[in-house]
Amino acid sequence: MERLDYRAKVRGTAVYVADMQMPGLCHGKILRSSIPHGRVTRVDATGALGVRGVIAALTRDDLMTDRGIDPFYGPVFKDQSIVAVDKVRHVGDPVAAVAALDLDAAEEALERIVVEYEELPAAFDVGDALEPGAPLVHEKVRRSPGGFADLAGVDPIEGTNICTHYKLRYGDVEQGFRESERIFEATYALPTTQHAALEAHGCIAAVEAGGRIVVWSATQNPFVVRTQLANIFKVPVSRVRVAAPYLGGGYGSKVYPKLEPLAVALALKARRPVRILLTRDEVFLTITKHAATIRVKTGVKNDGTLVARQCEMLLDTGAYAEIGPRVAMKSGMTAAGPYRIPHVKVDALAVYTNKPPAGAFRGFGVSQSAWAIESQMDEIARALGIDPLEMRLKNAYEEGSEFVTGERLTSIGLKSCLERAAAAIGWADRAPQATAGGKRRGKGIACLIKGTITPSVSAAALRLSEDGSITLFTGTVEMGQGSETLLASIAATELGIPLERVHVVAGDTDVVPYDLTTSSSRSTFHMGKAVQLAARDLCRQLGNIVAEEYGVPAAEVRFSQGKVRFAETTLEYHEVLFKRYGMPGGTIIGQGEVRTQTLVAPGKKMASVFWFVGAGAVEVEVNPDTGQLKIVNYAAAVDVGKAINPQGCRQQLTGAAITGMGQALYEELAFDDGRPVNANLIDYILPSLGDMPGAMEAITVEVPHGQGPFGAKGIGETALIPVAPAIANAVQDAVGVRIKELPLTAEKVFFALQRARKKA
Amino acid sequence: MKHSVTLRVNGREHRLELEARTTLLEVVREYLGLTGAKAGCDLQVCGACTVLLNGKPASACSALAVDADGAEVLTIEGLGDGAALHPLQEAFMECGALQCGYCTPGFILAAKFLLEVCPHPTEEEMRRYLGGNLCRCGCYMEIREAVKKAAGL
């Protein structure tokens, strides 16, 4: 099937927020803090207003004097403000903004704004931030009202920089360590990285004459943004419209409010629609992926059975909580890895520092924990003389295994993923081999488990028009993952009509029913199911109409090949609707809703309505003289439940794995005393076509889930997570050195080899 | 101070009065409404702004319109013929060589140039000519397939 968005995208006519025009549109630019931490003692924008072409300037004075605005917001804690009110907390923190007729005038105006700071000592990393007497990033933190159900009871520790401390206790680790025959301890680390979606963040905000707020934004969750804007500007939710066009990539960087509150405030001041488009360096200052240090202590039996595991994860959440608390919680919950371990203790801390905020990133904290766990699994296997694949298979979760929350896991194709990924790279033929030119080859494997936001809500509506064509209303945002086509195809299949007759209206809160978010790889399962239910509702209503109009039992009415059928009769849709309405018109709407609680037994608590499991296997070639490595072959195997669109599944598997390779080998957002050093795409290195391995295999394992549409679960994030540890394991296999800190650069391998030679 | 600049864009001549610092990207997007070319990095590294300038790939974000006075410019909108698509556009769709689509116009134009210079490109030639276009969705494997398909390989 041809994807519905493809034709426009290859022609260059697909509309993204930067392409949108509107009468009266003017340009917004943001003045950002140049220091990592300080009190804002003075902001004076008078000079800016003297620049020709400038329409308005926004400072904290506008926010603090206007009773109609609560400038504080955030998905979990209200620790962010539209512009800095008392302090700036990171380099890049917004301090003021201007709206002007053109960008040049806006930029000149920014230079005329006077800002004075009383610079404060800063906490540049987690170590600084946790020192007793460390500078506090936030003196006091407020909860956001009506917060997410899964985050109740997650609070910052006042008087410290600890934003969240998630604790998991399962069994008794001390007893487990006593029962163990060997104990292994190690620390692993990953730096701050960035999503680097090719489309930078952008937003158009307009305030209509009656006070209604209209926002077009590159956002993954328009409904959450709508709620936050309603809270900030103190208007009913129905008087806020947030609409998302196609996104040029998201990967978690475009969830929760980013530019929208500021754009709306500026549009209010300017009394004109304002468009703010970030430059590339600003994107690096807006949202990042959590840097982490993970300490793991594992107790095992000599035969490789896992007995006890203790993890301490320190996540650098930057200056604002954003969704950091959930990252700590979700990654903490699966931190011990996809294994049956009787005793588990996890402490996952999200810690405030004076750096740009960290938030959701494809994998949501699990790539951090998997980096540690899957690296250590291999170190343990080697020490015990056990094949790393065998050790994983021996301990892996299976159907019915008890999870660390006490619930039973179902629909878990983990072993199949491991076996198939391993087979794809010829795991059985592992033998140390030097290739021509002295390079060494090695193979590595890694696996994972991750959950999805639970509980959550998705609703869809299908409107039938008189000619039998369908409009599908969904809050799911098309950001490249193919949701538009996938959901349309589910509707078409259920309704028995050709895909061409389905038009999708997506991501506009004025029009579509509620959807929590396009993230957490949840849309196929939740929205796909909602679409199925909406289709069935529509068919039920149509069946009743046909029954009434033609005097046949509703149960005998069928919809297939684009027509309405009963007994020996075949009718066109327009005939049925004309008979019903007496004209070529009328509206029939089918609705479907998925609330997680409806999918489980009443009162049953569960951490995730379904689980993502998968594995990655890699063959690398290492040059022992330079430390450079090349990926020869990579296989990603993910249990998707049902591969509804096989080409789409392949895209998600290889696409996520390629980003995983970037994270493993090249990517690092470096800071020097809180100042990003490489916030551009020359010095922040992304994988290019030239870096591709010779072959990549995408394997979909299908263990169906009873509640998913056609048994499907989810796919978007899973294949990213095992890449880095699989590569590190392959490097150890090839040249015998263990790299514990990402990115896995040639320098690190080179110096590790040097050290190993010196020891020998 | 404004300069008079003549550009032949997608076969049509335009005469514009422009400040010297106006980039080719601003001209095609803001003046001519051709928004297929995208701003990605501001530093001519990512390839999202690729246009063909006198037949060769250029990063429009870093090319001054005044320097392109009298030049032929091809943007993605100039590819294909009315409803008909260029073979590369067809191949990209068939092979699933795009997801979010932001890098796609730039990639297709870069690939067009590649196939003009190397009608049967080797892996090495593909790496050299297409290595300057970034795709964060990770469609590189499919893009390689699409280019080979369009080349008849």
Mean pLDDT by 10 residues, chain B (153 residues): 96 97 97 98 97 98 97 96 91 98 98 98 96 98 97 93
Nearest-angstrom CA–CA distance, A389 and A377: 10
Query: Is it true that the peptide bond before A455 is cis, omega within 30 degrees of 0?
Result: yes
Q: Are strands A72-73 and A433-434 parallel, antiparallel or unpaired?
A: unpaired
Nearest-angstrom CA–CA distance, A141 and A157: 9
Cβ distance A658 to B140 less than 8 Å, yes or no, reads yes
Span A445-495, pLDDT tens digits: 999 999 999 989 999 999 999 888 999 999 999 999 999 999 999 999 999
Cβ distance B136 to A659 less than 8 Å, yes or no, reads yes
Choice between A151 and A633, residue whose per-residue pLDDT is larger:
A633
Q: Which of A7, A11, A690 shows the shortest C-beta gap to B131? A: A690
Q: What mean pLDDT value characterizes chain A?
A: 95
Residue B104: what are its φ and ψ, rounded to 5°? Answer: -65, -50
Span A698-742, pLDDT tens digits: 999 999 999 999 999 999 999 999 999 999 999 999 999 999 999
pLDDT surpassing 90 at residue A265 = yes
Q: Mean pLDDT over residues A146-172, rounded? A: 87
Q: Mean pLDDT over residues A687-698, rounded? A: 94
3-state secondary structure of A526: helix
CATH architecture of A457-599: 2-Layer Sandwich (3.30)
* Closest chain B C-alpha to A691 CA, distance in angstroms: 8
Q: If we measure between CA atoms, which residue out of A290, A296, A299, A231 comes closest to residue A260?
A: A231
| Dihedral sign from CA coordinates of A542, A543, A544, A546 | positive
Q: Which of B29, B108, B141 shows the shortest C-beta gap to A654? A: B141
Reading the block at residue A239, the tokens are 């008087």
Q: Which of A198, A246, A289 to mutate against chain B (most B CBs within 10 Å)?
A: A198
Nearest-Cα residue of chain A relative to residue B143: A689
CATH architecture of A24-122+196-286: Alpha-Beta Complex (3.90)
* Closest chain A C-alpha to B101 CA, distance in angstroms: 5
Cβ distance B101 to A647 less than 8 Å, yes or no, reads no
Chain A to chain B Cβ contacts (< 8 Å): 159
- Amino acid letter at B146? A
Domain boundaries, chain A: 24-122+196-286, 288-453+606-759, 457-599
Cβ distance B34 to A12 less than 8 Å, yes or no, reads yes
The pLDDT value recorded for residue A597 is 76
Q: Which chain A residues have a beta carbon less than 8 Å from that of B81?
A: none
A655 touches chain B (CB under 8 A): yes
Span A513-553, pLDDT tens digits: 999 999 999 999 999 999 999 999 999 999 999 999 999 99
Q: Which chain B residues have a beta carbon less than 8 Å from that of A248?
A: 38, 100-102
Cβ distance A12 to B48 less than 8 Å, yes or no, reads no
* Closest chain A C-alpha to B34 CA, distance in angstroms: 8
CATH architecture of A288-453+606-759: 2-Layer Sandwich (3.30)
- Which residues, 6+ apart, have CB-to-CB distance to B126 below 8 Å? A689, B114, B144, B147
Q: Residues for chain A: how many in total?
A: 760
Q: Which of A9, A279, A692 shows the shortest C-beta gap to B104? A: A9
> If residue A306 lies in a helix (H) or strand (E), which one and from where to where?
strand A306-318
Give the model's confidence band at A563: pLDDT under 50 very low, under 70 low, under 90 confident, else very high: very high
The pLDDT value recorded for residue B38 is 98
Span A196-210, pLDDT tens digits: 999 999 999 999 988
Cβ distance A195 to B136 less than 8 Å, yes or no, reads yes
Q: If we measure between CA atoms, which residue out of B140, B134, B94 comes closest to residue A2?
A: B94
Residue A258: what are its φ and ψ, rounded to 5°? Answer: -125, -80
pLDDT surpassing 80 at residue A145 = no
pLDDT surpassing 70 at residue A146 = no
Per cent of chain A over pLDDT 70 is 98
Nearest-angstrom CA–CA distance, A330 and A516: 17
CA dihedral A496, A499, A503, A507 (to 10 degrees): 100
- Amino acid letter at A192? T
> If residue A328 lies in a helix (H) or strand (E), which one and from where to where?
helix A324-333
Cβ pair A565, A521 in contact under 8 A: no
Q: Which of B25, B99, B107, B135 to mutate against chain A (most A CBs within 10 Å)?
A: B99
Q: How many CB atoms lie within 10 A of CB B145?
A: 18
Asked if the domains A288-453+606-759 and A457-599 are classified in one and the same CATH topology, the answer is: yes
Span A280-321, pLDDT tens digits: 999 999 999 999 999 999 999 999 999 999 999 999 999 999
A15 touches chain B (CB under 8 A): yes
Environment class of B119 (CB within 10 Å of its CB; exposed 0-12, middle 13-18, buried 19+): exposed
pLDDT surpassing 80 at residue A152 = no
Span A641-669, pLDDT tens digits: 999 999 999 999 999 999 999 999 999 99
The pLDDT value recorded for residue A673 is 95
Cβ distance A688 to B141 less than 8 Å, yes or no, reads no
Q: Which chain B residues have a beta carbon less than 8 Å from that of A198?
A: 38, 40, 46, 48, 100, 102-103, 134-136
Q: What ipTM was reported for this prediction?
A: 0.98
The pLDDT value recorded for residue A603 is 66
Cβ distance A696 to B141 less than 8 Å, yes or no, reads yes
Nearest-angstrom CA–CA distance, A149 and A143: 13
Cβ pair A2, A10 in contact under 8 A: no
Reading the block at residue A323, the tokens are 């969704």
Span A36-79, pLDDT tens digits: 999 999 999 999 999 999 999 999 999 988 788 999 999 999 99
The pLDDT value recorded for residue A66 is 76
Give the model's confidence band at A586: pLDDT under 50 very low, under 70 low, under 90 confident, else very high: confident
Cβ pair A321, A355 in contact under 8 A: no
The pLDDT value recorded for residue A600 is 67
Span B112-139, pLDDT tens digits: 999 999 999 999 999 999 999 999 999 9
**Where do the domains of chain B lie, and which CATH numbers do they carry?**
2-78 (3.10.20.30), 87-150 (1.10.150.120)
pLDDT surpassing 90 at residue A599 = no
3-state secondary structure of B108: helix
Residue A188: what are its φ and ψ, rounded to 5°? Answer: -125, 155
Cβ pair A404, A335 in contact under 8 A: no
pLDDT surpassing 90 at residue A434 = no
Q: Which of B29, B77, B143 shows the shortest C-beta gap to A11? A: B77
pLDDT surpassing 90 at residue A257 = yes
The pLDDT value recorded for residue A148 is 74
